[in-house]
Amino acid sequence: MKEYLLMFADTIFGFLALFVMVKVLGKTQISALTPFDFISAIILGELVGNALFDKESGIPEIAFLVILWGALLYITEVITQKFKGTRAILEGQPAVIIHKGHLIYDVVKKNRLDIDQLQHLLRSKDVFSMEEVEYAILETDGTVSILKKSEYQIPTNSDLNVTTEPVKMARTIINDGEIVWDNLKEAKLTKKWLEEELRRQNITSVDEVFYAEWQENRQKLFVMLYHNKE
């Protein structure tokens, strides 16, 4: 009877400790599961599980494991925030698998994605034919984001008898206060133009900008500044 009471107490504590850790680390641990997060969840579950069924382990051991692993995850998150170059290693990078209606074969193979899997991901976005897709991006959590061709967007322009225009994907120009030079160059824009456009929007420095994207279709620079919840 005593053993069952100890297991009950350990289980309740383990549950509460994990719940608190998820709250501290943020919603991304459960809402956007990256490969690193997936590995972390498996290892953490294994550590707590072993501690629960080890007769020599109790609440202090479980607390130590949870705190230790939580600290490692927290440090990793801090590193990815401070050093942007580490994000690709720890969190992965989105991959464009359909570009201007063309399937990018080498990117698909590199991400070990077969056609059946891709079709399944597209169907989850209510796309039942690849012909409808202008752009498709494989996200770091394994989902796919799509931008349909003009004639397949809802409501469809063909249904409304509206003249269609080529679809242009918005390009990230500023990310976390830093200029994305490759995208700026691909959009055939210059740093001087960017600075003038920011000044036109009463922004004195790139450092003030959290995110900015160039919307080629609308010939507009959309800017989001740093804002806290308060």
pLDDT, tens digit (0-9, with 9 covering 90-100), for 122-148: 999 999 888 899 999 998 777 899 999
Q: Is residue 9 part of a domain?
A: yes
Same domain flag for 79 and 109: no
The reported pTM is 0.56
Tell whether the model's pLDDT for residue 196 goes beyond 90.
yes
* CATH code, 189: 3.30.240.20
Tell me which of 81 and 21 has the higher pLDDT.
81
Phi and psi for 167 in degrees, rounded to 5? -80, 135
CA distance 150 to 87: 33
- The answer to whether 149 and 133 are in contact (CB under 8 A) is yes
Confidence grade of residue 151 (pLDDT, cut at 50, 70, 90): confident
Q: Is residue 205 part of a domain?
A: yes
What range does the domain containing 20 cover? 2-88
Of the candidates 59, 88, 117, which is a domain's last residue? 88
Same domain flag for 7 and 80: yes
Cα distances (angstroms) measured from residue 20 to each of 13, 36, 63, 125: 10, 20, 12, 33
Average pLDDT over residues 99-114: 86
Using the CB atoms, write b or e for 35-74: b if 16+ within 10 Å.
Answer: ebbeebbeebeebbeebbeeeebeeebbeebbeebbeebe
CB neighbours (10 Å) of residue 144? 22
- The answer to whether 196 and 144 are in contact (CB under 8 A) is no
